[in-house]
Amino acid sequence: MLSHLSIRNYLLVESVELDFAPGLTVLTGETGAGKSILVDALALALGDRAEGGVVRQGAARAEIAAEFAIDGLAALAAWLEEAGFASDDGALILRRVIDAGGRSRAFINGSAAPLTQLKEAAEFLLDIHGQHAHHALLRPQTQREVLDAYAGALPQAAAVRDAWHAWQGARQRRLDAESHGQARQIEREGLTLAVEELRALGDDLARWDDIQTEHARLAHVTTLLEGSHALIEGLDESESAVSGQLGEMSARLAAMLAVDDSLGEIAALLDSASADIAEAVHALRRYAGQLNLDPERLAELDRLLADMHRLARKHRVQPEALAGLLDQFQARLAELAASDDLDALQAHEDAAWARYQTDAKQLSALRRKAATALSKQVTAAMHELALAGGHLDIVLQPTGEPRAHGQEDIGFLAASHPGLPPGPLGKVASGGELSRISLAIQTALSGVAGVPTLIFDEVDVGIGGSVAEAVGRRLAKLGETRQVLVITHLPQVAARGAQHLRVAKQASGGFVSSNIELLDADTRVEEVARMLGGLKITATTRQHAAEMLAG
């Protein structure tokens, strides 16, 4: 659950530190005081987009940190472990820093993280139901998602969507093969010829560097032989050979060494030079012995290099890339062969279609079962919310043709009063009625959601009196099993809270700021009395407020 929220320099808030308790927490305040700031700030900590305009005037950056107690959330703990954000103290801290220019940074348990990971973590933690959620409920897509969420069928819906796309892809590949057979044949013939030409080069295709080196050596073998013999003669065979001169010098130095032994290091150097020259002469003789004139091999290499250059120009690549090009051509030929196998393509399409049908039928069964249960649950809640005699029908209408979302469209049909035929929500319900129906659906979803914290942002707009009392009871009941945070303008709802926060504006030093404080028993009576009586609070309104809080 949400245990602590820290907000600094965000919009009208300079600095707020809030601790949260289990159960139902209510947040109240006068219109314009900034009640939704808390929810908006929390949404940023959970990965929503940020803009520089959210930074408080005069501040360099805004910072929001939300701390959650996550004991018992095994799936979240596993996700944190895998992502490298594990904590040993049973707490999770999500933090967001936004500078005045709009750039932001995100952190999970003190480590930098992308926004996508904040959003993934948020899915384990809480749901936010905004004050305009009832408008979204008019969309068929939202109605379908609501039913699937209630049915616990969101993974199955994703499987159906994936199966539909796989089937469509297989079908398109089969159609392409049927309609573009001639073009593929032309491409295949060209690739076959190219592969044959490249294969004709054999293993030499991948030996471009070695072939160039061998060709250069054969082309200059005479020069190499003459140079080798000249070096051998100058080093060891002529009358003035270096080896002979070094020998004479070594003998003279040996005589000098007998007189002055400090010349020993120089003598050693001369001996080493004599040995190195002898080794060089031996290596040159071995090298010269391996050189031979081979005009036939040279001519063969000339032809091979000419062929490689020709094919490289033809395919517009460097000669050393020909081996990789052959692999590409062969892979493409394999693709073409597979795509031209109409029987195999049809079999693949049939298998994909069968998979889609299986997944879609399973999804339909889940939806039918959930539609009955959700209709009954929402209808009962509608009666509790002063829509007695009204009811909600969830209709599954066959699509006529397969769709990515399944084989049926989902429709929410409602009657707000007895005797009225059910119709689409947007046509049969007023704004207040739609808000109550939406609240009934949202609380029904909350009963099956896996997240421990639920936030309702003024979803009780447009209701009052006994209906407001029913809403308060419903939210308090929900707070027995979940942590619930409600932003409300209704005293009947505020009185049901186990914890009460109040937002108020204050001016100081030319700046206007919003402050959020936790109310005690006395200040809570004053706040509920304000909600009941407006600006003028009397003893009667205070008495009424005290009675509501006691009840």
End-to-end Cα separation, the chain, in angstroms: 27
**C-alpha–C-alpha distance, residues 415 and 410, integer Å:** 17
Residue 60 per-residue DSSP state: S
**C-alpha–C-alpha distance, residues 501 and 515, integer Å:** 10
Pairing of strands 126-129, 111-112: unpaired
Q: How many CA atoms lie within 13 A of 431 on its CB side?
A: 7
CB 140 within 8 A of CB 409: yes
User: CA dihedral in degrees (304, 307, 312, 313; nearest 10)?
Assistant: 140
Residues in a beta bridge with 455: 128, 485
Residue 27 per-residue DSSP state: E
CB 125 within 8 A of CB 98: no
Burial of 381 (C-beta count, 10 Å sphere; 0-12/13-18/19+): buried
Please give the model's pTM, rounded to 2 decimal places.
0.60
**C-alpha–C-alpha distance, residues 534 and 544, integer Å:** 13
Residue 420 per-residue DSSP state: P
Structure tokens, 209: 């560097």
Helix/strand/coil (H/E/C) assignment for every residue in 129-174: ECCCHHHHCCCHHHHHHHHHHHHCCHHHHHHHHHHHHHHHHHHHHH
Residues in a beta bridge with 458: none
- Phi, psi values for residue 507, rounded to 5°: -110, 135
265-291 burial by CB neighbour count: b if 16+ within 10 A, else e? eebeebeeebeebeebbeebeeebeee
Length of the chain in terms of residues written: 551
CB 264 within 8 A of CB 257: yes
Pairing of strands 453-457, 483-487: parallel
3-state secondary structure of 122: helix
CB 67 within 8 A of CB 541: no
Whole-angstrom CA distances from 472 to 231, 327, 346, 527 are 106, 71, 59, 16
Pairing of strands 126-129, 423-424: unpaired
Strand order, beta sheet including 483-487: 126-129, 453-457, 483-487, 24-29, 499-508, 511-518
Q: For Cα atoms 416, 422, 427, give the angle at the middle one, nearest 5 degrees.
A: 75
- Strands (E) in 36-136, as ranges, are 61-69, 91-99, 104-108, 111-112, 126-129
Q: How many CA atoms lie within 13 A of 488 on its CB side?
A: 30
| Greatest Cα pair distance in the chain | 135
**C-alpha–C-alpha distance, residues 453 and 446, integer Å:** 9
Whole-angstrom CA distances from 526 to 16, 38, 507 are 22, 22, 21
**C-alpha–C-alpha distance, residues 140 and 154, integer Å:** 16
Whole-angstrom CA distances from 446 to 74, 127, 481 are 19, 8, 10
What is the pLDDT at residue 374?
A: 94
Report, in angstroms and rounded to the nearest whole number, the Rg of the chain calculated over CA atoms: 42
**C-alpha–C-alpha distance, residues 123 and 117, integer Å:** 10
Residue 89 per-residue DSSP state: S
Q: Which domains does the chain have, with CATH numbers?
A: 1-22+30-127+497-516 (3.40.50.300), 185-338 (no CATH)
Per-run averaged pLDDT (10 residues), the chain, 551 residues: 92 88 90 78 89 84 93 87 86 92 90 91 82 72 90 94 96 81 73 86 80 77 74 83 86 86 88 88 83 73 85 88 88 78 86 97 97 93 83 93 95 85 82 77 73 79 77 86 88 93 77 83 92 81 90 73
Residue 35 per-residue DSSP state: T
Give every CB contact of residue 375 below 8 A, 6+ residues apart in sequence. Answer: 391, 392, 393, 394
Task: Using the Cα atoms of residue 31, residue 34, residue 38 and residue 39 in order, give the sign of their dihedral.
Answer: positive
Which of 390, 373, 368 has the alpha carbon at shortest distance from 467?
Answer: 390
3-state secondary structure of 463: coil
CA 12 to chain centre: 32
CB 119 within 8 A of CB 432: no
What is the pLDDT at residue 132?
A: 61
What is the pLDDT at residue 363?
A: 97
**C-alpha–C-alpha distance, residues 100 and 115, integer Å:** 18
Structure tokens, 383: 């009666």
* Residue 90: CB atoms within 10 Å: 12
Task: Using the Cα atoms of residue 108, residue 110, residue 115 and residue 116 in order, give the sign of their dihedral.
Answer: negative
